[in-house]
């Protein structure tokens, strides 16, 4: 996996991951809230993974890179 996320992109993803995980895993009421909480937590986990690895599959599929280098 070749890195395709720049430093600022990774920092933003890490901060959002923490926010999504806190919101998603916080106390929820009712089934709808629990399902929504799980979805939000999963998005947080994905953001945390991409921030840690510096690789985003969606960026790869779209040919996008925020590293500041040209990959063409």
Contacts of 32 (CB under 8 A, 6+ apart): none
Please tell me which residue, 32 or 10, carries the higher pLDDT value.
10
Q: How many CB atoms lie within 10 A of CB 42?
A: 13
Contacts of 44 (CB under 8 A, 6+ apart): 16, 17, 18, 19, 20, 21, 23, 24
pTM: 0.83
Q: Read off the pLDDT of residues 34-66 as tens digits, 9 standing for 90 and up.
A: 888 889 999 999 999 999 999 999 999 999 999
């Amino acid at each position: 996996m070749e890195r395709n996320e720049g430093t600022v992109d990774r920092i933003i993803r890490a901060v959002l991951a923490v926010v999504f995980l806190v919101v998603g895993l916080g106390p929820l009421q009712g089934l709808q809230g629990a399902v929504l909480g799980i979805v939000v937590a999963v998005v947080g986990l994905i953001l945390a993974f991409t921030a840690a690895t510096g690789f985003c599959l969606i960026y790869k599929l779209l040919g996008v890179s925020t590293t500041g280098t040209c990959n063409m």
